[in-house]
Structure 1
């Protein structure tokens, strides 16, 4: 089968994955922000809890020391000595926030600066916390107190504590500072991450744009470099060296190919002219005439193959040098359908066009017409009598969709990739006239216009879909 009748998913020409690059850099920046913020939050949280713990231990140590002194007084001088000590310290609340209370076993107060034993308490092992109302300049304020209880041998109860309002205020300020620190660090990391992500996207975007120009045929393009001498510059330098080598080899190959093609045209043309002149001779024997006609047919086939190869090389190798103009693809498709309708009718095939209005793009009209001709001719060649071929042009959000669908025999799935290569034909189609270059030329023309090409199952038959993006004409010019 001539390289034009295929159902292959792998033939689609994917555009540069700009969105994927953008998402990858954003994810990397977000990961850096989260890791950095988590690290700073861990450090600040650790500092906060360690500081609060040190303050708690300091308070507990002061209370435990005071309880020890009071118990010693009771051991040396009994109840009178303890009451005397407590009365001397009843004014400690105003100076140090100290809290004392000595009661009988039944709770009756004996000495201290608390009126009664606290009832609403929070118990933490041997420690308790409660609140007392204290008069200050601004009015009555609830002060939290942390205290330790001790039962004397006589059954009397001793409570020693201290005001922890300032400690809690300090802890609150530490928490506020921690939150502000974490928030500031997150904002700073976010700003850095966004700037980093944008810088990466700009550089990769420039690389992608250059690669698209190179894929369009402009091998003179090079990846941009900066003076940072970072990994991107090292990558760009290596790729640019590779591009210089490819451009040099391509130029030599193209020059050699063009020279050989042009040098072959002359001898082939002269040989054809001589054969045609010989065929016009009336005394030529019938056997010799048949041989000469067969030779002439083979020469015509060689000339067609040579012309197709030159078109493929032209579309693939120098797309940026080809002239472009405004092309109404819908009008071109209608004209070609009208042109091939008689031939299709002679074979018993229905050839139709679907589409409305105009479909203007900018491209090379001659190569676009040749690509569409190849698709139509291949369909006519392989669709049996009674079949149907439909050429369609449809508008899409990002460009145009050109499709050629038929209900022919199709091809096996295993051959859908390799059939796209030049000179590849199916074994079952070896008897058909052709060179296996039809779809290769179509693919080259689509690459020139940065179009995608899908070969799908028409159930039955083949559907060739070519999507020409709106941005393609600018690249081709």
Structure 2
């Protein structure tokens, strides 16, 4: 935990705040000292001007009496009056030696030398007036400010260290849970998930995203196992039939031609199955997303309906296009055409003789839909979602041609385009509805 990034960041922030407190304390101390010095100087100048005025109106006697009165007042300034030769006349500062103007000196106080801020003013007749104030009050205030900011500095450091340690410990524990989950999954426990607190903070969102990724990986692994099992199951029949025909051709030369023709048909079916699997894998990889362009589903639907309408009519069925408004989406025209072809072929194959198949592409609110509906026997609701699994086929459909990959390819194309595909009850019949997000 002591090597964790969170603890280092907490330490860095604590150092920054501590330095900020030091800088703030220095600026505050200097500002207070400057303000107090200006107040002291203003008070000294005011008293000095008042005594000079007293000297002009009352003479030396009046100034001496005024100084004696002020000396008796608690909290007043320090004063001194000197004669022409510098001899002390009145006041505690009368014996100080200072030039005209501002100066700083120390005078004897109660037990130690006291710092004095002094203003010397020349009086008529060669005399001198001295007015000063004790700077110990400024120093005492400086000490109080320093002690306050010192305690604040210590508090910031203590709280920063304690808070940083607590924060780092919590973050470390949660990151350790994520790391432990990853290690467990590496060891083969694919059901393990990262615990989520429910606080909806960044680590919770990371854990939720991590869990969704794990769910997706688990689904893909399960799908891969299912596909492997389905491939072994669905290809066993054509391979067995191919072997039997080859054996029959070897046993009877007269049947060799028919055996070879049947074997080629079986091989074509096997190759078609693998081609469908490869196409689905290519779509699911997202490589075709770079070819997305603005297109109109209505145009694609009209093209597919025009192509399949004659064959549907020959089979005693009716295929028609509903609606004529634009249905704009961003996508791959070739893949969207293949998706619609698969849906139409699936409807023509399973709807039965005399069925009517309706293809519709339309804008519905903020979404664009592509629907293929028929009035055939339909599909039981529990089995509708499974029809999108690879190689899954209804029992009544196993005697018809097909590999069970058509709707799986439809689902892959829909996911690539960010669309949702559903099988709905058309009452009677079945409706395959693909809902696309509105184009940007």
TM over 0.5: no
The structure having more radius of gyration, on CA atoms, is 2
Q: TM-score band, normalised by the shorter chain?
A: 0.3 to 0.5
TM-score of the superposed pair, with normalisation by structure 2: 0.44
